[in-house]
Amino acid sequence: MDNKTIAKKFKLCGQLMELHNENPFRTKAIANASFKLDKLPFSIAESSLETLSEQPGIGKSTAEKALEIVHTGSFKELDQMLSITPEGILEMLNIKGLGPKKVQIVWKDLAIESVGELYYACNENRLIEAKGFGLKTQETIKKAIEFTIASQGWFLFAKVQPSAETLFATLEKIIPPGTLLSFTCDYRRKVEILEHVSVIIALSTEEITALLTQVTALTASSDLRYTDVNGFTFVFISTTKEEFYKDLFISSASAAHLALLPQEIPSAASEQDIYAALGLAYIEPELREGYNEVALAKAQALPKLIEYTDLTGTLHNHSTYSDGVHSLKEMALYCKDVLKLAYLGICDHSKTAFYANGLSIERLQQQWAEIDQLNIELAPFKIFKGIESDILSDGSLDYPDEILAGFDFVVASVHANLKMDEQKATERILKAIENPYTTILGHPTGRLLLSRAGYPLDFKRIIDACAQHQVVIEINANPLRLDLDWRWHRYAVEKGVLLSINPDAHRTEGLTDMLYGTYVARKGGLEAKDCLNTYSLTEITNYFQAKK
């Protein structure tokens, strides 16, 4: 064990002592010891207690701790600090721009206990109002987290898509005329998290390698495997013009999908021809996951998958009334003038969500008055009065019934006490579903992709209850959530449950996240008729009124 590793143990102990408000003199002494140990001109591991104790600024106590690290990997005080510190808090201490004092505010004041939750809070603009933070600090922390996630080798689809599309456009310009080219593998199937982006090209390995020397954004890491300037990995697959569609077909499918196919894959002039030769209707890439898509294709009963252009409005969005970046009017105008939507559902946080500037009843009245005025100004565009009501620990909703009755619709979501076991977590949500004021169940599992697994749920009971009580289930389109997971969409549709592709937008740019919600809805086999916010303004107005 080298001196630097030992010094880092002392540094961590000092950070944790500061985090837990230990005696400042002892905390400073541990921090100073870290510095002294790191600068010693000899190996601590090969030193005696006597020699180490004689060094300036070290002393016997520090020397004993250092040698304890050599023999056990830690020391008593550090172990005590670690025992009272959640794993997620330890991870935060490694983020550039976050010292113990800031982590303490994030943990104690904002109730955030993991890097994933912190990243989501940055996206929701929650950090800028916290003591000692601001917009610049928030952006620095966000970028540092993104770098950490990227360095682990997995990427969110939405994060890598801009780089992938830019690269593809570049390739189209520089490949020889008539060369066949396509995305393939997980990226083509719109899988929500990726290790790499695959591109198949009808060129030899040598030709592809020569071609990519013209792409300055790429650096070769191995044969036909490259890294771009953002740290994303791209894998290139070589094939011939004659075998292109067969190889595209095979590489685009999951192993489970291929296992369902009735015979050897033939070569053909298109994927449509390949499916036809197999006696099947064409299956869209998003569906090629090995569920029931082959049986449906055989029966000519595949769903007509939802398109982004089918969405006519957006529900579950935030404004500056709670933790949004843009005002209610700015959000509405962006929907109306830029996205050409017919309606906006505003769902700022409820009063219990103190961390997100949740609305008191008095502030609710102010918001409703502004909505009434804007609905006159912007007609026929309409803003619906919604709320993202916290589901409390006992399953009840925020606000008394007389206030809940005043909303056009209510999105009920869990934001706190995320460590319940499956039975308790399920019972809590079932109670919220049974509440007559619940219109939509928001981000059902609370997951944050690459950061936090959702709380455990009995999904069949949840979906069955939503069918019984006519509660819509959200597909939260934020790329970090994509919750409800697409693997449960089919069951929901079978049970007659509507889903809603909601961006959970906290700024105007976030409204376009509905695109990613549409991608996973397609993977789940959704048609436009299965999605609430494909309803026209008249249809959804009638739906909300009937629900009330």
Contact 420, 455 (CB under 8 A): yes
Q: Which of 180-189, 223-232, 360-369 has the lowest mean pLDDT?
A: 223-232
Model pLDDT, residue 151: 63
What mean pLDDT is reported for the chain?
A: 93
pTM of the complete model beyond 0.85 = no
Question: Is 528's pLDDT higher than 80?
Answer: yes
Rounded to whole angstroms, the Cα distance separating 341 from 333 reads 10
Q: Which residue has the higher pLDDT, 140 or 302?
A: 302
222, β-bridge pairs: 225
* H helix intervals, 253-360: 255-260, 271-277, 293-298, 328-333
Q: In this predicted model, what pLDDT tens digit does every residue of 383-401 receive, in sequence order? A: 999 999 999 999 999 999 9
d(CA 225, CA 212): 11
For residues 360 and 354, what is the distance between their CA atoms, to the nearest angstrom?
A: 10
Query: For position 229, what pLDDT does the model report?
Result: 85
Q: Which tens digit of pLDDT belongs to each residue from 103-135?
A: 999 999 888 988 888 988 888 888 887 888 888
Q: Does 79 or 134 have the greater pLDDT score?
A: 79
Start-to-end CA distance of the chain, whole Å, equals 67
- Gap between the Cα atoms of 106 and 127, Å rounded: 8
pLDDT, residue 311, reads 98
Q: What is the C-alpha to C-alpha distance for residues 115 and 148, in angstroms, rounded to an integer?
A: 10
Q: Is 14 within 8 Å of 34 (Cβ atoms)?
A: yes
Decide: residue 209, CB within 10 A, 0-12 exposed, 13-18 middle, 19+ buried: middle
Give pLDDT, residue 44.
92
**Domains annotated on the chain, with CATH:** 3-151 (1.10.150.110), 155-298 (3.30.460.10), 308-547 (3.20.20.140)
- HSE (side-chain half, CA atoms, 13 Å) at 455: 21
Asked if residues 342 and 312 have their Cβ atoms less than 8 Å apart, the reply is yes
